[in-house]
Structure 1
Amino acid sequence: MPLIELKNICRRYKNGQVFINALEDINLSIEEGEFVSIMGPSGSGKSTLLNILGCLDRPTSGTYEIAGRHVEKMSDNMLADIRNQLLGFVFQSFHLLPDLNSIENVELPLIYRGLSGSARRKRATAALEAVGLKERIYHRPSQLSGGEQQRVAIARAIAGDPKLLLADEPTGALDSKNSESIMAIFQDLNTKRGITVIQVTHEKSVAEYGHTIFHLKDGKIEHIENVANVTI
């Protein structure tokens, strides 16, 4: 059974008296353990698709199944549970709280799981060590480089042991050296931990770290590209 299965997904917005089809008839299936990239020009629907995959938005029509559960008609509370139990998110802008240090930022979403303080600290420490920040756990965001801040964000995303990691332009604010470092971490999480990764990117070199690239145009999947030589 696929981890992710979308059938005939459409997302329509109303802008004044005009309806805009952000996504139209999207069908895709992603197996557990895959590394998938989504590419497309501005306005192609890739961020809308990622928001639906992340249970942050609902499709106008169609069905979405994740880990055997249909989510398109779930209540807001049920969707929040799915996000908390199964998903990890990494964004271009890091979204770290400036008054908290690295380990406190990583611990924050674990509070909503009801974990004890010691359990949160243990998981957060392990996650920061996994992204190479063992020596920076008590530094605040202002004391970290952009690449280090993104690694804290990744640690926060994986501390809850998600099945699926969703990344929206994860290297968009980074230079090429830090971009390569972040993508190496994603590959390690995918190959060694078995975490399924879905990323949105406009950079072909970044997209090619994935096994498969979904190319979107005008809200539709234009074509699917299999990456022959996965970067290691």
Structure 2
Amino acid sequence: MSLIKLQGVSKAYKRGQVQVKALNNIDLTIENQEFVSIMGPSGSGKSTLLNILGCLDQPTSGTYELLGKRVEKINDWKLSDIRNEYIGFVFQRFHLLSNLNALENVELPLIYRGVWGKERRKKAKEALEAVGLGERIHHLPSQLSGGEQQRVAIARALVGNPSIILADEPTGALDSKSGENIMSIFNRLNQELGITIVQVTHEEDIARYGHKIFRLLDGKIEKIEEVK
């Protein structure tokens, strides 16, 4: 059973009287424990595709199977449960709460799951240690470098033990050395913990950390490239 399977997925938006097709008849399969990259020029549909994969948006037409279950038409409450249970998100701009320290930021997904305080703090600390920030757990985002903030964001994605991590330009706001460190963490999570990684990137060298590259153009998959 494939982890993710899209068949004939399209997504259209209305802009005034004009209908714009962001995705056009996408067929896509991602297997368990794969590390894949999605690339394409601005407006090619990368972010729309990632939003659908993350159950943040639903397709206009087509089917989406996640872990063998059809999810393209289920209600917002169930989509929220799926996101919380199976998916971790990492964003370009980190999206950390400035008034919370690293530990408190990482605890947030567990609060939504109803995990109690002592157990919650233990899991958050372990997640921060897993990304090399065990000594920085009480630092605020303003006291951390960009690379460290992104590692906090990865720990937050990791803390709920997700099947999938979806990353939107995870190195886009970082210098090259910090970007390499982040990709090293993703590789370790993929290889050692078996977490499936799906990242959107515009950087060819970053894309090639994955096993496979889906190249989008005008809302369609133009090419699927195996990385050697």
TM-score category (smaller protein)? over 0.9
**What secondary structure, in the 3-state scheme, does the structure 2 residue paired with 1:112 have?**
helix
Who is 2:187 aligned against?
187
- Between the aligned partners of 2:154 and 2:86, the Cα distance in structure 1 is 15
SS state at 2:27 partner = strand
| Structure 1 equivalent of residue 28 of structure 2 | 28
| Counterpart code for 2:2 | P
Distance 2:126 2:160 in 1: 11
Partner of 2:107: 107
For 1:79, give the aligned amino acid.
Answer: L
Partner of 2:86: 86
Which whole-Å CA distance do the structure 1 matches of 2:99 and 2:12 have between them? 39
Inter-partner Cα distance in structure 2 for 1:104 and 1:5? 35
**Are 1:119 and 2:153 counterparts?**
no
Number of residue equivalences: 228
Counterpart in the other structure of 1:129 = 129
Give every structure 1 segment of 4 or more consecutive aligned residues whose post-TM-superposition deviation is greater than 6 Å: none
Supply the AA of the counterpart residue of 2:225.
Answer: E
Partner of 2:204: 204
The equivalent residue for 1:51 is 51
Matched, 1:155 2:142: no
CA distance in 1, matches of 2:138, 2:182: 21
Helix, strand or coil: the match of 2:113? coil
Name the amino acid aligned to 1:140. L
User: Structure 1 residue 221 and structure 2 residue 221: aligned?
Assistant: yes
List runs of 5+ in structure 1 lacking aligned partners. none
Cα distance in 2 for partners of 1:19, 1:75 equals: 24
What amino acid maps onto 1:126 in structure 2? Answer: E
Measured after TM superposition, the shift of residue 109 of structure 1 is 1.1
One-letter identity of the residue aligned with 2:45? G
Q: Distance in 1 between matches of 2:3 and 2:158?
A: 17
Give the AA of the match of 2:210. Answer: G
In 1, Cα distance between equivalents of 2:93 and 2:175? 14
Amino acid of the structure 2 residue aligned with 1:127: A
**Aligned residues: CA RMSD:** 0.4
| Structure 2 gaps, min length 5 | none
Name the CA distance, whole Å, in 1 between partners of 2:69 and 2:77: 15
- Matched position secondary structure for 2:121: helix
Q: Residue 49 of structure 2: SS of its match in structure 1?
A: helix
TM-score for the superposition, normalised by structure 1 = 0.98
1:178 is aligned with what amino acid? Answer: S
Deviation at 1:91, TM superposition (A): 0.0
In structure 2, what is the equivalent of residue 146 of structure 1?
A: 146
Q: How far is the alpha carbon of 1:119 from its aligned partner?
A: 1.1
What is the match of residue 171 of structure 1?
171
Structure 1: how far apart are the matches of 2:195 and 2:144?
26
- The 1-side partners of 2:123 and 2:30 are apart by 28
Instruction: Give identity over the alignment, percent.
Output: 68
TM-score, normalised with respect to structure 2: 1.00
